[in-house]
Structure 1
Amino acid sequence: MKNNMLLSFLFFVFTFFSCAPKKQNIIAIDVLLIPSEEMYAQSLQLNSLINQNNPETIKLDKNHVPHITLLQCFINEEDLPKVNGVLEGLFNTIKNDSLKAESLFYYSEKEESFSMIAIKKNEQLLQLHQKVIELVKPFIVKNGSEKSFVQNPDGSPISESTLSYVPEFVDKHSFENFDPHISLGVAQTTLLDSLALQVFKPIQFKAESLSVYQLGDHGTAQKLLWESK
């Protein structure tokens, strides 16, 4: 009798855990364009000079690549192959189009400001942005957390601004609010004034690839998950 009860109990436990839904691992992703070599190099140059002024700001390198964000969102990690699949071939719609770096943008009235390279929002770029959202939207989830991001090497928590920005991207930073740019970091405006006049070059360039990266803190593109060239 006892053996039968034990077997019944073990069967129940096995069935419960076998049928229980697996906990989804949610990741924060950035669907983005990597700029061509000339634009990439200029981004690194400007960021390096900004880092000399403020070592605490973002540092662009091979693990924090210069990029133009098309969409930031949370997805279930197991849906990543599906997301990559719907994006397949989309790069062909823009790879031959010219993009333009218009200006070094920052808030000149402030003593210190976040800076970025402003990219002209032409029709091709806007259509690509809209198409990416349309294709990826069925996979977007809202309940991401700090664990969804590539963690900071020093163990510090993911910033609250980053945690709130990603789930709000489609509603607050897309379509008419879409603002294509390459982030450079925070510096004193006296330095940024100088960089805008003496270093920044408004150039035409093309995208090198359409890629999906896992996001790190402050919207940095840190871990390559997929790319189309």
Structure 2
Amino acid sequence: MPRSDTAHPRPVWYFSEYAPVGIDLGSKAAVAAYDRNQGTDPQADDTLLDRLGVSDGTQLVDLACGTGSLAVQAARRGAVAHGVDVSEEMLAFAKARADRFGVAPQWHHAGFLDYTHQGPLADAVTTKSALHQLPDFWKQQALLNAAGMLRPGGSFYLWDVSPAGTGVSRGEPDRAATDDRDVVVGGCGCRHGVSLRRSSVSPAGDLGEGAVEGGRQ
């Protein structure tokens, strides 16, 4: 499948999400090792999908989907799942996994910044262990892009690591060198702001630290 940035060229100053792939995850061996180490946990996937209320007909977009475990598990429930990744090898692995289970999520060779969602707005957008790879300025753009593909009242799930002392909201104490972050934002994809509250679902209209505003205007 063609890269999204070649189908829709960007200015020369635009951050390229594809550059690191050849070093880290651009070979079959590297992708297989990734999947063995951290790419597959159906029980954890099901726990998250339950938490997000994913069921038959749910529209789900998994950004930086890796080897496709979550998207495949969602499709097995009858969800309309979209897996998005900058690595062709990751997507090939994900498609092979889907074929083994007899499901067909839609796979997209794209990144946080250049993925353009087609079709109905998503009920849920997820991303795990990837957003930290973007420079801070481009993280904001990635979050706005994610918000824009969510339906009003949809949920955005983020799991990532962050440097010490960079809490989700003001007043959080300094933590260790890296800190697992698990955030569900409810009510995203609308004209109201929603606060990023750690390990919680927050209602639309609660504008606070780390707020995201979005939805197609």
TM-score (normalizing by structure 1): 0.24
Larger radius of gyration: 1
TM-score (normalizing by structure 2): 0.24
- Compare relative contact order (CA 8 Å, sep 6+) and give the higher one, 1 or 2: 1
Which structure features the higher share of strand residues? Answer: 1
